[in-house]
Amino acid sequence: MRVRKPIASGSFYDENPKLLQQQIENAFTDELGPGALPIKKRAGFIYGAIVPHAGYAYSGPCAAWAYKELGEAEPAETYVILGPNHTGMGTSGVSTQAFSTPFGVVRSDKKLADYLVNKGSIKNDELPHMQEHSVEVQLPFLQFINRDVESWKILPVVLSDDVDYKQFATDLKEAVIDLDKKITVIASSDFTHYGHAYGYIPFSLDVPNKLKELDMGAAEFIKKKDDVGFLNYVDDTGATICGSIPIATLLRLMNNRRAELLQYYRSGDLVGNYKNSVSYASIIFR
């Protein structure tokens, strides 16, 4: 079994398993988090989620909102994690490698991956995954809420501009039916990246409220499951939502589901400075 070693441990999250456990627990109990660990009896099912992927010190409490819901819902057989390509290494691709974190190894769903690759809308390519953090940072949270790692798998997917996301979503729907899979789809994405560090300064006055207005405009299309409207909004505003393609793909899959915005804040809220700020949102689909 080929295993991808973590590239984000020690930077995005702690590399020591005990400290990582505490880091995640703190995210749940943080004042910006849901306030408690996921301890209720598992009932119902979460079909999809949009979860941020920044360093846990920043986006961890926001991510914990989605993972509390996932941890208290019936577990999926496979968690399909859709991440953007930040590095420019390769383009789009699904990985069939197992992924390791300080908590251990998570297996990839090779049967589902092979089905999608044979359909032709995505290729098996490990290059986009080599230095990409957007899929990896979701895994310790998933391992935290699903301790029995033998009972579930992941499908790690990096999506870039080259992918026909509509066809990929169609193929994934067919795969779920043909293979009788119980999946949850996680779109790994931060929202607006603002400031000189990100080359995006559409306004300079009343920045916190303007950022919220910009992000909530995107959230309205997400709530309506309008993938085309969402992407047009991103294009029209220039909103620097890094996982826009993963989100659009998720929306194609969630057309009959109800979206709930659980938490939203900006890194500027944490540091008290919006010179450079990244927005985070936690959204689930029931």
What confidence tens digit (pLDDT) does each residue in 163-175 have? 999 999 999 999 9
Q: Token digits for 213?
A: 């207005």
**Dihedral (CA of 168, 170, 175, 180) sign:** positive
First to last CA, the chain: 34
pLDDT at 1 over 90: no
pLDDT at 29 over 90: yes
- The pLDDT, as a whole number, for residue 44 is 94
Q: Provide, rounded to the nearest whole percent, the portion of the chain with pLDDT above 70.
A: 100
3-state secondary structure of 229: helix
- CA distance linking residue 284 with residue 273, whole number of Å: 29
What confidence tens digit (pLDDT) does each residue in 133-142 have? 999 999 999 9
- What backbone phi and psi angles, to 5 degrees, belong to 66? -65, -40
Of the two residues 256 and 103, the one the predictor is more confident about is 103
3-state secondary structure of 256: coil
CA distances from 86 to 50, 89, 135, 189, 241 (A): 17, 8, 11, 11, 12
Q: What is the CATH number of domain 3-285?
A: 3.40.830.10
User: Which neighbouring-strand residues pair with 157?
Assistant: 82, 94
pLDDT at 205 over 90: yes
What confidence tens digit (pLDDT) does each residue in 48-71 have? 999 999 999 999 999 999 999 999
Total length of the chain = 286
pLDDT at 20 over 90: yes
Domain ranges of the chain: 3-285
- The pLDDT, as a whole number, for residue 25 is 98
Residues 6+ apart with CB under 8 A from 236: none
75-81 mean pLDDT: 97
* pTM, rounded to two decimals: 0.97
180-192 mean pLDDT: 98
Look over the chain and give the mean of its residue pLDDT values, rounded to a whole number.
97
- The pLDDT, as a whole number, for residue 149 is 83
pLDDT at 41 over 90: no
